[in-house]
Structure 1
């Protein structure tokens, strides 16, 4: 239980709570801890939004399925992050399938408990802010997928995930295989274009660390 409480303490739902307080809340809360194997469904699109999830171990991905059979990754979350919160709050079904990207342990908290916790902890506004952030991320994802070339998708991703304005360094939160899926391209095609960008000295790649060498050239790719 201590291991789980350590993760929950960093979550927006239990922000500012002592470990003893969290244990006390859990003792009076409707929740369940579930283990999912890689690629196993956690939520399905159109499933009622009954639970919100917090990742204790592993990572998850939300996927949008289209009538054409095309599947697009629209969200990625890792240990300690919350997911699936919009559906319970809005009392709507989930809009996407959510799967485990690796063997994962998830705590699922019932929506009634979620709303009660948000009001009691005066964190409802933070949850709404988080939901707004997720909408922004989704809009960025849609814009990313609107680009036709792989180079443009790489450029857009790097420019929009560059929080280190001083050194222009991005640390990928997942493998290149997962990154390729996120960009909706094949892994070999992604690696080929990354090599080209490195050869042109626009970026420098060292495993999951990517350094932008010529930011203006990345911007120019987006308007080609």
Structure 2
């Protein structure tokens, strides 16, 4: 299966390249494309990290499993995003988390040695790879910052404010389902629903489906900046 160059333009590795340039690159590049169905394993924790994946269609969920058996969702990746780049060049290049397809998806894989060859012949691609690692590091730091924000209510508000800033709107669209959001916050879905209802009842948000309107960003920001709680005990 040959990937669509127009799709690869959405990948940071190929940013700035025209469709014709990507087409020419694909003709000289060693790669493979694999298709997956829902819940199929793409990378397993502990596998050897010897290739990078680029999502051509569908979505991928990345989870870290704890020794207790519980798991935390680290990321949800969409078309154009990459998998496996963060550990590809580590001395101990072991996949640290499990990646599964959330639905039908296809992924382009480039091996480590082929990627090194591309870097030596195309310094722009090397620069984009480093930028990609930097952006991924920022996302990880944001995740850590959010999870360290304290009780669930505080983590939810932190997430909603961050999404409002990223989407430049007081009416945001959740980038994933409620179930996935609960996993993202490392909580149970019923607990998330209770907190959503509470924030609605005090007039801070309204929601319908995947759309959430922030009605009082000032109060929400004040809440994040202070150690005080809203009336009622936090969960």
Shorter-chain TM-score bucket reads: 0.7 to 0.9
Structure 2 CA distance for aligned equivalents of residues 202 and 212 of structure 1: 6
Residue by residue over 1:95-146, the C-alpha shift from the partner in whole angstroms, topping out at 9 and shown as x without a partner, is 2111112221111111222233344042323322321221222222223233
Aligned length: 224
The equivalent residue for 1:90 is 90
Structure 2 CA distance for aligned equivalents of residues 95 and 221 of structure 1: 35
Which ranges in structure 2 are unaligned for 5 or more consecutive residues? 229-235
The answer (yes or no) to whether the contact 1:13–1:118 under 8 Å persists in 2 is no
Distance 1:192 1:49, change over 3 A: same
Regions of 4+ moved over 6 Å: none
The equivalent residue for 2:131 is 129
The equivalent residue for 1:213 is 215
Structure 1 CA distance for aligned equivalents of residues 2 and 211 of structure 2: 32
Worse-superposed segment, 141-150 or 76-85: 141-150
Match for residue 158 of structure 1 among 160, 185, 196: 160
Distance 1:26 1:86, change over 3 A: same
> What TM-score comes out, normalization by structure 1 length?
0.88
Structure 1 CA distance for aligned equivalents of residues 80 and 182 of structure 2: 24
Structure 1 CA distance for aligned equivalents of residues 168 and 50 of structure 2: 43
Distance 1:117 1:204, change over 3 A: farther
Q: Which has the larger radius of gyration?
A: 2
**How far off its partner does 1:156 sit?**
1.6
- Specify the SS of the correspondent of 1:88: coil
Matches within 5 A, 1:158-197: 158-163=160-165, 167-197=169-199
Structure 1 CA distance for aligned equivalents of residues 213 and 70 of structure 2: 32
Which ranges in structure 1 are unaligned for 5 or more consecutive residues? none
Matches within 5 A, 1:35-114: 35-90=35-90, 92-114=93-115
**How far off its partner does 1:33 sit?**
1.0
Structure 1 CA distance for aligned equivalents of residues 10 and 169 of structure 2: 28
* RMSD of aligned residue pairs (Cα, Å): 2.3
Structure 2 CA distance for aligned equivalents of residues 113 and 3 of structure 1: 17
The answer (yes or no) to whether the contact 1:164–1:170 under 8 Å persists in 2 is no
Structure 1 CA distance for aligned equivalents of residues 76 and 9 of structure 2: 21
